[in-house]
Amino acid sequence: MSVLTITSLRKEYFDTYTNETIPAIDDVSFEVAESEFVSILGPSGCGKTTVLNIIAGFIEPSGGEVLLRGRPILGPGPDRGVVFQSFALFPWTTVLQNITFGLKMRGIDRRGTLVPSIGRPGRLAGRDPVATTASANCRNVARSSGVCRTA
């Protein structure tokens, strides 16, 4: 059974600078099964991020349908983790505060249980995320997705 069903998805952006409608994706359809690993490949500007942003619930499609476990996506939710193309970190807070931001927004405090799992052991938790390497930041963003999903 498919977990994610995308049917005839379409998105047009309106460019307020040129007053033009920009077709980003048109007639995109695919299904993703439970535990299936799917990659979206294509040249720059073909609409990969647009599709992912619609699945994440960040933007609404102009047409078509996206069903997650049979239900339409109405907005972002803790059932979907997103690792952004450019790092979406808060540079003025620590690594730990970045990872636990989602929990904080939901009123859950699990910082104490998370510290040992960040770095070896908890070495990076208090660090400035800008001072850590790109791959470490990538892992931290992925961790924050997992934190939101399992909480």
Question: Can residue 52 be called a binding residue for Mg ion (CB under 5 A)?
Answer: no
Question: Can residue 117 be called a binding residue for Mg ion (CB under 5 A)?
Answer: no
Q: Which residues pair with residue 67 across a beta bridge?
A: 5, 72
Q: Which is nearer to ligand ATP, 4 or 9 (CB)?
A: 9
Question: Can residue 7 be called a binding residue for Mg ion (CB under 5 A)?
Answer: no
Residues near ligand ATP, by CB under 6 A: 13, 15, 22, 24, 42, 44-50, 85
Question: Can residue 5 be called a binding residue for Mg ion (CB under 5 A)?
Answer: no
Note the residue count of the chain.
Answer: 151
| Residues that contact Mg ion, how many (by CB under 5 A) | 2
Sign for the pseudo-dihedral over CA of 66, 71, 74, 79: negative
Residue 94's binding partner, choosing from Mg ion, ligand ATP, none, with beta-carbon cut-off 5 to 8 A by kind?
none
What's the closest the beta carbon of residue 59 comes to Mg ion, in angstroms?
Answer: 13
Residue 127's binding partner, choosing from ligand ATP, Mg ion, none, with beta-carbon cut-off 5 to 8 A by kind?
none
What's the closest the beta carbon of residue 44 comes to Mg ion, in angstroms?
Answer: 7
* Chain Cα centroid distance, residue 63: 21
Q: How far is CA 85 from CA 44, 63, 82, 88, in A?
A: 12, 24, 9, 8
The answer to whether the CB of 111 falls within 8 A of the CB of 147 is no
Cα(130)–Cα(27) distance, integer angstroms: 39
Cα(139)–Cα(122) distance, integer angstroms: 14
Q: Which is nearer to ligand ATP, 45 or 116 (CB)?
A: 45
Question: Can residue 49 be called a binding residue for Mg ion (CB under 5 A)?
Answer: yes
Binding site for Mg ion (CB under 5 A): 48-49
